[in-house]
Amino acid sequence: MKMLTQTCSRGLSNYHMISMAISLSHSTLCVPSFSFKKQCHRSFTISTPFSSLSSSALSSKKLCQKLQPVVSALEIGGVRIGKDDVVRDDPTNNVPDSIFSKLGLQLHRRDQHPIGILKNAIYNYFDANYSAKFVKFDDLCPIVSTKANFDDVLVPADHVSRSYNDTYYIDAQTVLRCHTSAHQAELLRRGNTHFLVTGDVYRRDSIDSTHYPVFHQMEGVRVFSPNEWEASGMDATTYAAEDLKKCLEGLARHLFGAVEMRWVDTYFPFTNPSFELEIYFQEKWLEVLGCGVMEQEILKRSGNLDKVAWAFGLGLERLAMVLFEIPDIRLFWSSDERFTSQFSKGQLGVKFKPFSKFPPCYKDMSFWISDSFTENNLCEIVRAVAGDLVEEVQLIDNFTNKKGMTSHCYRIAYRSMERSLTDEEINQLQGNVREEVQSKLNVVLR
């Protein structure tokens, strides 16, 4: 399931086009998973600085204190986090080893990595246009309380993003942040009025070339005082919405040059009105960010009663895939020199040259599902067995027989971006996937 894209209907009638010419390729925003646009239903997902944590997030606070980066990890731009702190054999924990291994890698803090290069280019835009007024946070701990991740930004109790199917839980009150909005309330409480938060976010999800369970977001928040909108003659909300759109249109031009864009009305629990910005790329409209005027309740609770604010959240992988023409999201995690050596500090938009295209190998598997079956659980198992050798997991057949039993057939595409895979290796992987699926998912293989 795509995050901001596929779910939810769009208020297409309400968008307005911003004319500008050309250039740009494709993109997708909040790459993985569920959408905050959904109004509700089903169950739940994440961030905080290592140095400053939400007072409400007591258990996550303790954890993060324990998880202070150690010097050796900092040397490689990472953070050391104890595995026992994150992965536990407990029903309230659903974090697999594969996710633990990504924690603290902090691609967004590497100046020579496409994600870090993009972050710096966005910083440059804000510094140049707002006289460096935006305070930047990029080392907030991704382990946060459910309060920070959901409650503080008004995510309803029955919202899909809260489910164990969609979010990684460390325990019932602690998650890996599923969005950088998890830091909004805390930073507002601390008196910040202009800030950018960049970080890794985590979502359980399907598998394809634009979805990965860890990706990066940048959150932006700007708070206005009454004197700012009063002089304009506009009401506070209109003033903030117009300022927000102007800011983000400018950012899109800064990153992409002349590009066709449009605004689409949408829904987020934490903003009203809410919008998405779409960019025309390779003959498709692609969502690149979600944003809106912050719900007054969030401001009120943070001691900003008479203020108005805007907020946005953008997906860095999606933008970087477009800007650098990176065809598969797994590449961001590659340490293959043929990938890493192609990017350098400050070089935005250097086009990635694929170093190889090895053939994919497809394996199908069919089983009778049970009521508890979910595609995200299947994908987690496939990733646990095959890691980044799995390119896509696709439902290709789905039927229910006369007895009411439902069968699913999934096609798994295996492909390495770095080498040819042998038949033997793939058969072994597929055999292991079948065994794990049978033993863990309560399904009957056919």
Contact status: 179 vs ligand PHE (CB under 6 A)? yes
Structure tokens at 135: 């305070």
CB proximity list for 9: less than 8 A, separation 6 or greater: none
Applying CB under 6 A, does 291 fall inside the site for ligand PHE?
yes
Does 159 bind ligand PHE (CB under 6 A)? Our answer is no
Closest approach, Cβ 166 to ligand PHE, in A, equals 12
Q: Does 268 bind ligand PHE (CB under 6 A)?
A: yes
Closest by CA to 319, choosing from 329, 310, 309, is 329
In the sheet that holds 174-176, the strands lie side by side as 143-145, 174-176, 169-171
User: What number of other Cβ atoms are within 10 A of residue 404's Cβ?
Assistant: 6
Biggest alpha carbon distance in the chain? 72
Stretch binding ligand PHE (CB under 6 A), from 189-197, 266-274, 346-354, 417-425: 266-274
In one letter, which amino acid is 199? G
Token pair in block for residue 63: 């954890």
CB closer to ligand PHE, 154 vs 393:
154
Under rule CB under 6 A, residue 137 binds ligand PHE = no
Q: Which is nearer to ligand PHE, 4 or 187 (CB)?
A: 4
d(CA 114, CA 390): 22
Q: Which helix (H) or strand (E) holds 254?
A: helix 236-256
What residue number has its CB nearest to ligand PHE?
Answer: 313
Binding of ligand PHE at residue 4 (CB under 6 A)? yes
What residues are paired with 278 via a beta bridge? 262, 287
* Closest listed residue to residue 33, CA positions, set 213, 183, 180: 213
Instruction: State which residue, 54 or 430, has the beta carbon closest to ligand PHE.
Output: 54
Distances (CA, A) of 279 to 25, 139, 295, 344, 366: 9, 29, 26, 26, 38
Classified as helix, coil or strand, 160 is: helix
The nearest distance, CB 201 to ligand PHE, in angstroms, is 7
Place of tokens 């990684």: 168
Which C-beta is closer to ligand PHE: that of 163 or that of 430? 163
Return the residue of 15, 36, 44, 229 that touches ligand PHE, per CB under 6 A.
Answer: 36
Applying CB under 6 A, does 150 fall inside the site for ligand PHE?
Answer: no
358, 421 Cβ separation under 8 angstroms:
yes
Does the footprint of ligand PHE cover residue 181 (CB under 6 A)?
Answer: yes
How far is Cα of residue 426 from the mean position of the Cα atoms in its chain?
A: 30
Among 312, 324, 339, 410, binds ligand PHE (CB under 6 A): 312
292 touching ligand PHE, by CB under 6 A: yes
Residues in the chain: 446
Element (H, E) at 441: none
CB of 250 to ligand PHE, least distance (A): 18
Residue nearer to ligand PHE on the CB measure, 69 or 199: 199
Question: Should residue 281 be labelled a site residue for ligand PHE when binding is judged by CB under 6 A?
Answer: no
Task: Establish if 273 lies at the interface with ligand PHE (CB under 6 A).
Answer: no
Is residue 210 part of the contact set for ligand PHE (CB under 6 A)? no
Which C-beta is closer to ligand PHE: that of 316 or that of 385? Answer: 316
Nearer to ligand PHE, 61 or 183 (CB): 183
Residues ≥6 apart with Cβ < 8 Å to 244:
222, 275, 291, 292, 293, 310, 312
Residue (179 or 222) nearer to ligand PHE, CB: 179
Q: Which of 24, 95, 311, 429 is in the footprint of ligand PHE by CB under 6 A? A: 311
Exposure of 311 by Cβ count < 10 A (0-12 exposed, 13-18 middle, 19+ buried)?
buried
Q: d(Cα 200, Cα 143) in Å, to the nearest integer?
A: 10
| Choice from 30, 57, 299, 441 touching ligand PHE (CB under 6 A) | 30
Give least dist CB 318 to ligand PHE, A: 11
Residue 214, interface with ligand PHE (CB under 6 A)? no
Min. distance of Cβ 313 from ligand PHE in angstroms?
A: 3
Stretch that binds ligand PHE, among 104-112, 116-124, 290-298, 400-408 (CB under 6 A): 290-298
Candidates 48, 54, 271, 430: give the one binding ligand PHE (CB under 6 A). 271
User: Cis ω on the peptide bond leading into residue 273 (within 30° of 0)?
Assistant: yes
Rounded to a whole number of angstroms, the minimum distance from the CB of residue 254 to ligand PHE is 19
DSSP β-bridge partners for residue 175: 144, 169
Binding residues for ligand PHE (CB under 6 A): 4, 30, 36, 179, 181, 219, 268, 270-271, 290-292, 311-313
